[in-house]
Amino acid sequence: MATETMSRCLACGFEAPAGADAWSSVQHPPLGEMTQCPECGSTETRQL
């Protein structure tokens, strides 16, 4: 049975499947593309 990997915003607690369209992204020149929380704009996210 496959389980979906979830990600959580550490700033506001927003959760959605990792890589889902629910997540935004932002370009950070030295780091490249980063996942961004659509609720609060934080890039502090972790996979659960």
23 — phi, psi (to 5°)?
A: -85, 145
Residues 1-48: tens digit of each pLDDT:
567 899 999 999 999 999 999 999 999 999 999 999 999 999 999 999
Residue 23's domain spans which residues? 6-47
- Residue 41 forms part of a structural domain: yes
Report if residue 11 sits inside a domain.
Answer: yes
Predicted pLDDT at 1: 53
Region of residue 38 (left: phi > 0; alpha: psi -120 to 50; beta: else): alpha
Residue 1 lies in a domain: no
Block residue for tokens 């369209």: 21
Q: Is 31 a member of any domain?
A: yes
Residue 24, in any domain of the structure: yes
pLDDT at 3: 78
Number of domains in the chain: 1
